[in-house]
């Protein structure tokens, strides 16, 4: 994807991709392959199911209608995700967030956005 992202879009997508990768490998999902990300973000390793979710999440983030006033997805007044994906992203962020913190990645603590 030769798409150029805003700094905030790149930050959010990168974070979400990292968390999804931790979730996917932590749950030992089978058949993980490189999932390409837009802009200059390095690809992450995801199974087919997580790749489908990530594709959804990237599309949603890129098409965010509140780009200019955006505080964070967690505090968004729209919540553009469908029920199923929203439940999944909350699970991913909470599970992977705990794991990151156990590994001493306290910097991620401030970035919970679901
Ligand atoms: Zn997976």
Chain segment 10-43, per-residue pLDDT in tens: 988 999 999 999 999 999 999 999 999 998 899 9
Question: Which structural domain, as residue segments, surrounds residue 24?
Answer: 7-111
Can you tell me the distance from the alpha carbon of 73 to that of 61, in angstroms, rounded to the nearest whole number?
Answer: 9
Per the listing, tokens 């999902």 go with 29
- Residues whose beta carbons lie less than 5 angstroms from ion ligand 1: 24, 29, 47, 50
Tell whether 61 is covered by a domain. Answer: yes
Tell whether 79 is covered by a domain. Answer: yes
Tell whether 2 is covered by a domain. Answer: no
Q: What pTM was computed for the model?
A: 0.87
Q: Let me know how long the chain is.
A: 114
Ligand 1 center–CA 56 separation, angstroms: 14
Ligand 1 center–CA 91 separation, angstroms: 13
pLDDT in tens, 76-114: 777 789 999 999 999 999 899 889 888 887 766 665 555
Tell whether 95 is covered by a domain. Answer: yes
Tell whether 82 is covered by a domain. Answer: yes
Can you tell me the distance from the alpha carbon of 83 to that of 50, in angstroms, rounded to the nearest whole number?
Answer: 16
Quick one: tokens of 63? 């098409």
> What is the total count of domains within the chain?
1
Tell whether 46 is covered by a domain. Answer: yes
Asked if 32 and 40 count as a contact pair (C-beta separation under 8 A), the reply is no
Per the listing, tokens 């199911």 go with 49
Ligand 1 center–CA 60 separation, angstroms: 19
Can you tell me the distance from the alpha carbon of 38 to that of 69, in angstroms, rounded to the nearest whole number?
Answer: 22
């Amino acid at each position: 994807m030769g798409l150029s992202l805003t700094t905030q879009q790149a930050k959010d997508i990168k974070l979400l991709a990292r968390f999804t990768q931790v979730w996917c490998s932590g749950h030992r999902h089978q058949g993980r392959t490189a999932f390409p990300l837009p802009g200059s973000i390095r690809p992450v390793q995801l199974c087919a199911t997580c790749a489908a979710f990530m594709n959804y999440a990237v599309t949603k983030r890129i098409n965010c209608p509140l780009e200019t006033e955006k505080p964070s997805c967690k505090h968004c007044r729209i919540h553009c995700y469908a029920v199923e994906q929203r439940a999944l992203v909350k699970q991913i962020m909470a599970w992977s967030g705990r794991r990151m913190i156990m590994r001493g990645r306290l910097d991620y603590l401030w970035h919970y956005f679901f």
